[in-house]
Amino acid sequence: MVVKGKKIPLFLTASILFSLKTYIVYRFMLNIELENMLQEFILLINPFVSSIIFFSIAIWFKKSSRQINFIRYAALIGTLVIYFNLVFYRSFTDFLTIPQLFQTSNTADLGTSVLSLIKFYDVFFFVDVVIIWYLSKNKELNLTTNYTKRRKTFAFAVSLMLLSGNFFLAEMERPQLFTRAFDREYLVKNIGLFYYHIYDAAVQSKVKSQRVLADGNKLPEIKSYINEEIRSNKQSKLMGTYEGRNVIFISAESIQSFVIQNTLYGDEITPFMNQLVNDKDTYYFENFYHQTQQGKTSDSEFVTENSLYPSSRGAVFFTHGENEYHAMPEMLEEKGYYSAVFHANNKSFWNRDQIYNNLAIDDFYDRDAYEITDENSVGWGLKDKPFFEQSMKYLQSIEEPFYAKFITLTNHFPFELGEEDRSVEKYDSNSNTLNNYFPTVRYTDEAIEQFFHMLKQTPIYENSIIVIMGDHDGISANHNKAMSEYLNKEEITPYDYVQLQRVPLFIHIPGSNEGKVMSKLAGQIDLKPTILHMLGIDTTNDIYFGNDLFHNDRKEFIAFRNGDFVSENYLSASGICYDRSNGEEVGTESETAEETPCTPFLKKVETELEYSDEIIYGDLFRFVDFNSNDTGS
């Protein structure tokens, strides 16, 4: 490129074009919250800082051809990095991590989910790459540089100064950004996508080394925290009440609580689950939150089976599938229970075929156990109604007592469903995802009702506890505008978004006649001790971070993987402390500000997440004899 007769080096041209594109993505294509002018300024400069440093590497090559090739491929690779993150963000409102890049066994199953995230206008995303390649092939333009070693060193020093300035502003805006980096959005917002990936690589290296260096010395400290802050010396009121009963666990894909007892154009969205809310044999937990992160359904499984927190990066099912665990199926097995999972998907998806062995699950009925045709499948596979129908023959054949988990599929992004299966209309908004969500939720509700009817025709029903749980959210923050329209809100604030992380939990106990709506805070991490105690299984020597939901003596908060939390009176989201009763702000968390009512909880949340991480990353349960009275040995 030439301006007024002066040559502009190709690396600088590439830096400017790439920076502008990156900023446009940050500012207008990602749902990044900007709270003040300093954040605006940092978001503006960090694409330019990273681009100049990135492309200026070219000047260290003496040959013009090597300079040009480096700039060409750097532009292409950099663009692909941004684009892959953008596509991922459109679905998960999150950024890629290194562990996810190795989850290749999931790729083949993504199918239409990925295609629905690719937009026709994405072709313009590569315009700068085309321009750079065009300029680099124009032989009339001499756009390479031949700097002296002194000028190269000077350029390198300037680059380091720019980077240091960016990091200084980032640390000023978000103190302890790198040491308390639970939230990837804060990292991208403050240091940019590329330095975030470098940081992610460093963290991954640290995580991999933790198992090698780990020993059991941390376990007494962790157990002491659990005994003091979590475990109660008193027994739950339902302790042992249903000893010997089967457990049927339905993991309801992507169902959130906002659809329960709600309508769309006058029609109930979940009529069957609405009936369960008021059923005399059902406990319904209206303030129950999912606690998953990037592993989604697999995280939901991990948390409920182990009462440990998921990883902040990737899925534990992949990253630490070979660890030793003390999961609920293993503890049930010691009491003579048989365990099985029913899920009409590939057994390798989320690495289930490997980690289920380490969770002591006896059998996995995957897609090979089902008759799947074009007529009875949609989206991710077998529809929920034929799924439950075909599962019944297996359920009736297994030995009691058993623990059987059913993982549904139909209510999965992109929420596809044929006209013949729809019982409610689509919603009408600017979000196809939210529009399609309601018919698939209703279909899953009908499938669960049908399953109940089938169970009631067998002796299994009366001798079982039936748990229905939403596994994670289905509507991401990318659809906040449409969601605010449906909920009749002006906007979805961080407070509202956390409240939307509530998912339904029903514990249906035939013949109990004591069911009611439970309003106390609850989370997926609480399922393991709750179910085990109902069955009369002692957890004294177990290590877990949840509470029995039928116990009044419980910790005061539900923690999320990104460091946010909900307590009885307060809610923390995106660094803001809210009054939980009305959603009003009561303070902003930072190292320089005075403490807010959320501060004491945040410290406990951080401690709890760190302890859980140490158990997982260090594979600490390999040092534990859970049959001994000393689990810290």
Interacting residues of 488 by C-beta distance below 8 A, sequence separation 6+: none
- Facing residues of 566 across strands? 558, 571
Copy the structure tokens of residue 126: 């590569």
Helices (H), 457-576: 480-486, 494-499, 527-534
Q: Across the strands, what pairs with 96?
A: none
The answer to whether 589 and 572 are in contact (CB under 8 A) is: yes
| CA–CA separation, 360 and 467 (whole Å) | 20
Mark whether 297 is an active-site residue: yes
The residue type found at 74 is: A
Under 8 Å between Cβ of 367 and 302? no
As a whole number of Å, the CA-based R_g of the chain is 26
CB 498 within 8 A of CB 573: yes
Q: How many CA atoms lie less than 13 Å away from 565 in the CB half-sphere?
A: 24
Please return the burial class of 64, using the count of CB atoms within 10 Å of its CB with bins 0-12, 13-18 and 19+: middle
Catalytic residue from among 97, 292, 297, 539: 297
d(CA 297, CA 302): 9
- Please tell me whether residue 555 adopts helix, strand or coil conformation: coil
Distance CA 570, CA 584 (A): 10
Angle at 419 between CA 416 and CA 425, to 5 degrees: 85
CB atoms within 10 A of CB 16: 17
User: Strand order in 363-365's β-sheet?
Assistant: 363-365, 338-342, 402-407, 246-252, 464-470, 505-508, 282-285, 517-518
Question: Cβ distance 364 to 317 under 8 Å?
Answer: no
Reduced to 3 states (helix: H, G, I; strand: E, B; else coil), residue 88 is: helix
Question: Is the alpha carbon torsion for 99, 101, 102, 103 positive or negative?
Answer: positive
Nearest by Cα to 474 from 503, 507, 447: 503
For residue 283, the cross-strand partners are 507
Helix (H) or strand (E) holding 522: strand 522-523
Q: Active-site residues: which are they?
A: 297
